[in-house]
Amino acid sequence: MGRIPRKYLINRLITLALTVLIAASMIWVIPRLSPVDPAEIALGRMASGAGAVANAEEILAQLRAQMGIDQPLIVQYFKYLKGALVFDFGLSTATFPTPVSALIAQALPWTLGLMILSLVITFVIGNLLGALMVWDHSPKLAKVAIPAAMVFTSIPPILSGLLLMWIFAAKLRWFPLTGAYGLTVDPGWNWAFVQSVLHHGFLPAMAIVIVTFGFWALGMRGLMITVQGEDYVKLAEAKGLKPRYILYRYMIRNAILPQITAFALKIGLLIAGQVLVERIFAYNGMGKLLYDAILDQDFPVIQGVSYVIILITALSVFIVDLIYPFIDPRIRHEGG
């Protein structure tokens, strides 16, 4: 415990850099295995707009130069890495010539907001319910209702989204149908805007929460069963501590530890899972951006979005690595 040793920090940073480098290389290689030529797609798009294109070969060459795909692969690769370092992924082919970074900058805050909101809610609710399934003093109802609620876990997020939308937006009209904020509010740091954002974000966040809380609840249930059998919990009971205190300080406090690591790892998966939810709620986040890019075979955008997702995941793991010794005293910041 105490301060983070320098050697440990450097080690973690190297791991972080390597993870990102390998992942970035993979997302560069994979689209290049595809037989599709992005320049031809762009040309095709032009052609469908303007009928026939006269000097096709010339335009193709020009497009290729603009996209930088006329150069040797190795040059392309290093240019890409250099760009990735400063979040420069070139220009979108679908919305040519918008820079990919501009599209991402616009989408990222929405996704991060939605993601953090839903992840925190689902993590808290899921773990609490999982713990209550095991705890001896839970209300009887909880032991019946929670497992029943698990069925939501097996429905795809798109259905949960549509279901919520239908009940709470279309029928009850408690929440807006789509969008990230109301058209009448002024984007910026004002209360009306924040309120509108929360109001719009609630249903998409819930759509994610109801399909993901079961994952945490089931994991927590298993961990709690193990912890419940531990000698230190039995002794806590013999000590006559209050049941609630035992639940939080002796049981959940120990059972939650592996869940925190899983939390960091889940972040990347969650963005991917958010794609469809964002799509049906017309929520302008990374998910929707990625979805559209895949439909349009917009490789630079796909690359940029994937890169950012990987970076966020790797950063979360890095942060958890750094704080873990503070939450589990048995783990120390050692050099290795």
Partner 1 sequence: MSEPVLSVRGLKVYYATPDGDVLATDDISFDLERGETLGLVGESGSGKTTATSGILRMVSSPGRIAGGRVTLDGEDMIALSDEEFRKRRWSKLALIPQGAMNSLNPTMKISAQIADVVRTHTGAAPDRARVLELFQMVGLPERIYEMYPHELSGGMKQRVCIAMAVALNPTVIIADEATSALDVVVQRVVAQTLAKVRDALGVSMIMIGHDMGLMAQMVDRIAVMYAGKIVEIAPVADMFARPGHPYSKILIESVPSLTERRPMKITEGITHDPRNPPEGCIFQLRCPHVNDGCTKPQPMRELRPGQTVACHRAEELEGAHV
> Which residues in 226-255 contact partner 1 (CB under 8 A)?
230-232, 234-242, 245, 249-250, 253-254
Query: Measured from the CB atom, is 49 or 329 closer to partner 1?
Result: 329
Q: How far apart are CA 193 and CA 229, in angstroms?
A: 49
Query: Measured from the CB atom, is 329 or 336 closer to partner 1?
Result: 329
Q: Angle, to 10 degrees, between the axis of helix 191-228 and the axis of helix 257-280?
A: 140
Q: How far apart are CA 40 and CA 38, in angstroms?
A: 5
Backbone torsion region of residue 87, taken as left when φ is above 0, otherwise alpha when ψ lies between -120 and 50, otherwise beta: left
For residues 256 to 285, the per-residue mask of contacts with partner 1, x marking binding by CB under 8 A and - elsewhere, is -x----------------------------
Query: Measured from the CB atom, is 237 or 334 closer to partner 1?
Result: 237
Nearest-approach distance from CB 249 to partner 1, in angstroms: 7
Query: Measured from the CB atom, is 94 or 220 closer to partner 1?
Result: 220
Nearest-approach distance from CB 277 to partner 1, in angstroms: 36
Q: What is the three-class DSSP state of 131? A: helix
> Which residues in 108-167 contact partner 1 (CB under 8 A)?
136
Instruction: Confirm or reject binding of residue 328 to partner 1 (CB under 8 A).
Output: yes
Instruction: Confirm or reject binding of residue 3 to partner 1 (CB under 8 A).
Output: no
Q: How far apart are CA 143 and CA 292, in angstroms?
A: 43
Closest by CA to 13, choosing from 322, 324, 333, 334, is 322
Please, what's the b/e burial string for 65-103 (b: 16 or more CB within 10 A of its CB; e: otherwise)?
ebbebeeeeeebbeebeebbeeeebbbbbbbeeebbbeb
Query: Measured from the CB atom, is 78 or 232 closer to partner 1?
Result: 232
Residue type at 253? R
Nearest-approach distance from CB 235 to partner 1, in angstroms: 5
Binding residues for partner 1 (CB under 8 A): 136, 230-232, 234-242, 245, 249-250, 253-254, 257, 327-330
